[in-house]
Chains A and B, each alone.
Chain A
């Protein structure tokens, strides 16, 4: 027996809002009668919220991580001065905090 699943329950809503929320496009290739090649049904979905909201965020994090990667390959002199200047900067921030 076939069960009614969550996917089938959401199917009409997905179909109605598909073009708007997912930019769904359907491509049907129906061979003429008598032809031997199979029929093709191609559905492409674009997740617009992912593309607009999360993808730029993920790209920004990736770029920042690539840049900051240099920090892991410094000499000991540079590390010590980095720590020192970071401390000075933080204390300055604290001193001038209103």
Chain B
């Protein structure tokens, strides 16, 4: 009985991330539009877009291989699994023990690998530009992410997300410089990984500086729906990751009962709304940077992560 209940809660978490992901994307777009004094589309528009794309016919290039057709589902599956592993409303759920932070990064990296391959599959130069830029950004973002993981693991003594979240919620964590550095670095990496504004513009299809949109330019119909859904899930994943690591307040513990879960879910939605609002605010305030300025941006994240790790080696209480 207990196993079935655990499975149900885990299933609820997987369904929750799936249901909330387009809403978060829609919310960020809406807030951005309101900040620019536009009315903006409804927050439900991403759901409608996904349904529309799912109903539409797929247009495939003649020389598209099986890889091109399989990649959207692979990316969606990997991203969904990764998003379901991050503790959202409750920590210590059933599947949360199967993978740690490093496995999570590996899942996202494999999704990116396949997306980069698919971008080059049809053979258009535009997809190739997107792929090579994506790989360049990844080669800078992933070392930074690993250094952030090292910092957190040194503080919390584990890379397991539920354990880290429990440690961060306890008073033992205190006020640490290294965690502040890790938070800033993680936000920078999250912005780069999701292709948000200073690095890439998710709203345009016309600029030559675009990265993610250039790779998925050849996709249509249900394939595009899968990729868009995966992109929303990835955004949700990073916001939940930051919320879980640096603000695990209100999070329920596995087996705490429906009331604690409801409080956890309410706190989670509030955290998502706060994260989405801050993201929209930041995106409206800054301008897009040139592609070859991105290494400096991510280099700063790498240096902050490195500094956090070094500080912890100097003194465990920093």
Residues of A within 8 A of B (CB): 2-4, 8-13, 15-16
Shortest distance between the CB of A79 and any CB in chain B (Å): 58
Q: How many A-B residue pairs have CB under 8 A?
A: 35
Measured in the bound complex, the distance between the Cα atoms of B127 and A10 in whole Å is 14
Per-position binary interface string of chain B over residues 87-129, scored 1 when its CB falls under 8 Å from any chain A CB and 0 otherwise? 0000000000000000000000000000000001001110111
| Contact status A3-B123, CB under 8 Å | yes
| Contact status B136-A13, CB under 8 Å | yes
Q: Give the contact-size bracket for chain B.
A: 10 to 19
| B295 interfacial by beta-carbon distance below 8 Å | yes
Q: How would you classify the secondary structure of chain B's contact residues: helix, strand, loop or mixed?
A: helix
B125-140 residues at the A interface, CB under 8 angstroms: 125, 127-129, 131-133, 135-136, 139-140
B120 neighbours in A (Cβ, 8 Å): 4, 9
Given that A8-B132, A10-B132, A12-B136 are contacting pairs, would A2 and B125 also be in contact in the complex, using a CB cutoff of 8 Å?
Answer: yes
Among A2, A3, A12, A15, the most chain B Cβ lie within 10 Å of the Cβ of A12
Given that A4-B120, A4-B123, A4-B125 are contacting pairs, would A9 and B132 also be in contact in the complex, using a CB cutoff of 8 Å?
Answer: yes
| B292 interfacial by beta-carbon distance below 8 Å | yes
Q: How would you classify the secondary structure of chain A's contact residues: helix, strand, loop or mixed?
A: helix
Shortest distance between the CB of B137 and any CB in chain A (Å): 9
| Contact status B125-A12, CB under 8 Å | no
Measured in the bound complex, the distance between the Cα atoms of B132 and A4 in whole Å is 10
A13 neighbours in B (Cβ, 8 Å): 132, 135-136, 139
22 A-B residue contacts at CB 8 Å?
Answer: A3-B123, A4-B120, A4-B123, A4-B127, A4-B128, A4-B129, A8-B125, A9-B128, A9-B131, A9-B132, A9-B135, A10-B132, A12-B132, A12-B133, A12-B136, A12-B292, A13-B136, A13-B139, A15-B292, A16-B139, A16-B292, A16-B295
Shortest distance between the CB of A5 and any CB in chain B (Å): 9
- Which 7 residue pairs are nearest across A and B when measured between Cβ atoms? A4-B128, A12-B136, A9-B132, A16-B295, A13-B136, A12-B132, A4-B125
| Contact status B123-A16, CB under 8 Å | no
| Contact status A16-B132, CB under 8 Å | no
| B291 interfacial by beta-carbon distance below 8 Å | yes
Measured in the bound complex, the distance between the Cα atoms of B135 and A15 in whole Å is 13
Measured in the bound complex, the distance between the Cα atoms of B10 and A46 in whole Å is 54
Closest to B135 in A: A13
Measured in the bound complex, the distance between the Cα atoms of B120 and A2 in whole Å is 13
Measured in the bound complex, the distance between the Cα atoms of B121 and A3 in whole Å is 11
Closest to A5 in B: B128
B124 neighbours in A (Cβ, 8 Å): 4
| Contact status A16-B131, CB under 8 Å | no
Shortest distance between the CB of A11 and any CB in chain B (Å): 6
Measured in the bound complex, the distance between the Cα atoms of B159 and A49 in whole Å is 34
| Contact status B140-A11, CB under 8 Å | no
Measured in the bound complex, the distance between the Cα atoms of B125 and A4 in whole Å is 6
A2 neighbours in B (Cβ, 8 Å): 125
Give me 17 other A-B pairs in contact (C-beta within 8 A), A4-B127, A9-B120 excluded.
A2-B125, A4-B120, A4-B123, A4-B124, A4-B129, A8-B125, A8-B128, A8-B132, A9-B132, A9-B135, A11-B132, A12-B133, A12-B291, A13-B132, A13-B135, A13-B136, A13-B139
